């Protein structure tokens, strides 16, 4: 198996925006290499899908975690019942001493007993296959802090000594393994690149930037953070973002660890809570293939894995009627993601993608041709009931997104 040399990847017309006609026109955040920094600075471009290609494909899953020790000790009543086979969730609510059962249906439901492997095999394997076919896909974890977003996306543990993934490994390490297993079994040249971004208070941080530069950035208040900018053609660029080319799954695990450690350092430094920041881990794959006519074709697919900020940071009324809470409490990107979803569902003419960096970055996975999967996470306990209902409502709204060709900003 040959890895594609960097020069070849640079000739990819989606990434480099060259005029070569053989590339398939998929597009979300495609890399545009600009070798201005020695460690490989890049820009990203989100190429806009044409109206004809638009067809929303949103899969919404619900995952309920088991009771934690605290809830168990407190004998917290269980208010959620999951029916994995029927893809249904019921929530018991007591209103004015009357018991009301509310029923929600999703594409898939994973109850407290579900394993990381179950969720991955049933929901994520087909998505990664799409990426390997040259599509751009995004998986979001959405829910209240402490309900299992990071557990679902990252889990604990990477590869064990015998090369197997531990049972607790989440979506990201499993996706990495599937990608490399597939690439290595195919007779094709390929390259794999990753980026790892954090978005906090509308400020982007590169979690893969070399340590000395991140320290510099924190000490030097005048140093500008990564810049997100329009390219004038409907796309979005992230100027100054570190992009790492990798040749094996273990290299990616190493980068994940490096990025997560940096996230924690930055947290201490800036006194912020990771529950209020979004992280976006992206894997871009180029595969060189020969057509039956003997022509060379390069497939370019991208997988965005997004661990969203805790949903308790958005005001429920704000998400619905657009009124914001006090400045300090708002998580603009999460709020806007909710508004974008509502606007798509209600077929509003104006979709407010531009109102937050998250929706600008991921614009083409909401309302575009690309495939989107939202994993909504909840606790089974009565103590989280209010937030659970908010998560279920949000996820349920997302489920009803329909295609509307003329949808635009
Ligand atoms: P979040 O990222 O949503 O704040 P975490 O992923 O950190 O939440 O999960 C909180 C705790 O619950 C962690 O200790 C995690 O290991 C545990 N947990 C979450 N989901 C599950 C699950 N499905 N099975 C077992 N433990 C879980
Ligand atoms: Mg988390």
CA distance 124 to 352: 28
Look at residue 398 in the predicted model and tell me its pLDDT: 78
- 111 touches ligand 1 (CB under 6 Å): no
Task: Tell which wins on pLDDT, 12 or 168.
Answer: 168
Residue 51 CA to its chain's centroid (Å): 23
CA distance 230 to 208: 23
Q: Whose CA is nearest to atom 22 of ligand 1?
A: 65
Q: Which ligand is nearest to the CA of 117?
A: 1
Q: Whose CA is nearest to atom 16 of ligand 1?
A: 151
Per-residue pLDDT tens for 298-329? 888 889 999 998 888 665 434 444 334 433 34
Most confident by average pLDDT, 112-121, 132-141, 243-252, 287-296: 112-121
β strands within 236-312, DSSP E: 236-239, 241-242, 244-246, 278-290, 296-307
Per-residue pLDDT tens for 35-70? 222 222 222 323 333 333 344 477 899 999 999 999
Least Cα distance to 241 among 200, 276, 204, 192 occurs for: 204
The ipTM assigned to this model is 0.99
Q: How confident is the model at residue 365 (pLDDT cuts 50, 70, 90)?
A: low
- Quick one: average pLDDT of 91-98? 78
Cα distances from 203 to residues 177, 333, 338, 358, in angstroms, run 31, 10, 19, 10
State the sign of the Cα–Cα–Cα–Cα dihedral 354, 358, 359, 364.
positive
- 147 touches ligand 1 (CB under 6 Å): yes
**3-class state of residue 359 by DSSP:** helix
Look at residue 333 in the predicted model and tell me its pLDDT: 85
Please, which residues have CB less than 5 A from ligand 2, an ion? 149-150
Task: Tell which wins on pLDDT, 29 or 393.
Answer: 393
- 149 touches ligand 1 (CB under 6 Å): yes
Cα distances from 63 to residues 5, 7, 121, 193, 323, in angstroms, run 40, 42, 14, 30, 29
- 67 touches ligand 1 (CB under 6 Å): no
115, two tokens = 């394993």
- 151 touches ligand 1 (CB under 6 Å): yes
Q: What is the mean pLDDT of the chain?
A: 76
CA distance 170 to 244: 21
Q: Which ligand is nearest to the CA of 154?
A: 1
The percent of residues above 70 in pLDDT, for the chain, comes to: 69
Per-residue pLDDT tens for 107-123? 999 999 999 999 999 99
Look at residue 29 in the predicted model and tell me its pLDDT: 33
Most confident by average pLDDT, 202-216, 228-242, 280-294: 280-294
- Quick one: average pLDDT of 188-201? 90
| Entry pTM | 0.81
Cα distances from 334 to residues 277, 312, 331, in angstroms, run 10, 10, 6
Q: Residue 105 is inside which H or E element, if any?
A: strand 98-105
Nearest atom in ligand 1 to the alpha carbon of residue 156 is 16
CA distance 139 to 307: 9
CA distance 105 to 396: 8
Which of 148, 260, 276 has most ligand 1 atoms within 8 Å of its beta carbon, as the pocket-test mutant? 148
**Radius of gyration for the alpha carbons in the chain, expressed in angstroms and rounded:** 21
State the sign of the Cα–Cα–Cα–Cα dihedral 324, 270, 149, 365.
positive
| pLDDT at residue 372 tops 80 | yes
| pLDDT at residue 388 tops 80 | yes
β strands within 144-252, DSSP E: 189-200, 203-206, 227-230, 236-239, 241-242, 244-246
- 145 touches ligand 1 (CB under 6 Å): yes
Look at residue 85 in the predicted model and tell me its pLDDT: 85
Q: Which ligand is nearest to the CA of 146?
A: 1
Nearest atom in ligand 1 to the alpha carbon of residue 154 is 6
| pLDDT at residue 223 tops 90 | no
Q: Which ligand is nearest to the CA of 264?
A: 2
Give the distance (Å) from ligand 1 centre to CA of residue 156.
10
CA distance 126 to 123: 7
Per-residue pLDDT tens for 337-358? 888 877 877 777 888 988 898 9
Look at residue 335 in the predicted model and tell me its pLDDT: 82
Query: At a CB cut-off of 8 Å and minimum separation 6, what does 146 contact?
Result: 68, 310, 379
Nearest atom in ligand 1 to the alpha carbon of residue 114 is 23
């Amino acid at each position: 198996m040959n890895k594609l040399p960097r020069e070849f990847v640079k000739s990819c017309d989606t990434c480099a925006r060259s005029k070569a006609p053989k590339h398939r026109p998929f597009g979300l955040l495609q890399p545009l290499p600009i070798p201005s920094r020695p460690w490989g600075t890049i820009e990203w471009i989100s190429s806009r899908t044409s109206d004809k290609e638009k067809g929303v494909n949103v899969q919404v899953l619900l995952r309920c975690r088991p009771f934690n020790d605290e809830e168990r000790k407190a004998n917290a009543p269980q208010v959620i019942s999951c029916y994995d086979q029927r893809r249904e969730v019921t929530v018991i609510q007591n209103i004015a001493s009357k018991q009301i059962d509310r029923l929600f249906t999703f594409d898939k439901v994973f109850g407290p007993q579900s394993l990381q492997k179950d969720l991955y095999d049933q929901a994520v394997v087909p998505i990664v296959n799409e990426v390997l076919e040259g599509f751009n896909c995004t998986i979001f974890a959405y829910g209240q802090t402490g309900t299992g977003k990071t557990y679902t996306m990252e889990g604990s543990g990477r590869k064990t000594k015998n090369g197997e993934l531990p049972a607790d490994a989440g979506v990201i390490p499993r996706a990495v393994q599937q990608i490399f297993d597939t690439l290595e079994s195919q007779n094709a040249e390929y390259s794999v690149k990753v980026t790892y971004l954090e978005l906090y208070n509308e400020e982007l941080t590169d979690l893969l930037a070399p340590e000395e530069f991140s320290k510099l950035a924190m000490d030097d208040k005048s140093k500008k953070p990564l810049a997100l900018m329009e390219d004038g053609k409907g796309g979005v660029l992230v100027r100054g973002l570190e992009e790492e080319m990798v040749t094996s799954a273990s290299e990616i695990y190493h980068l994940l660890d490096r990025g997560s450690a940096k996230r924690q350092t930055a947290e201490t430094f800036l006194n912020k809570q990771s529950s209020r920041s979004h992280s976006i881990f992206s894997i871009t794959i180029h595969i060189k293939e020969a057509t039956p006519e003997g022509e060379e074709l390069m497939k370019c697919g991208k997988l965005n894995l997004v661990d969203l900020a805790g949903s308790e940071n958005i005001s429920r009324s704000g998400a619905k009627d657009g009124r914001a809470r006090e400045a300090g409490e708002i998580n603009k990107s999460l709020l806007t993601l909710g508004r974008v979803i509502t606007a798509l569902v209600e077929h509003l003419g104006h979709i407010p993608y531009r109102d937050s960096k998250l929706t600008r970055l991921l614009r083409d996975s909401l309302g575009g041709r690309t495939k989107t999967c939202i994993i909504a996470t909840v606790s089974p306990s009565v103590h989280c009931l209010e937030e659970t209902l908010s998560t279920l409502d949000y996820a349920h709204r997302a489920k009803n997104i329909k295609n509307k060709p003329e949808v635009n900003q």
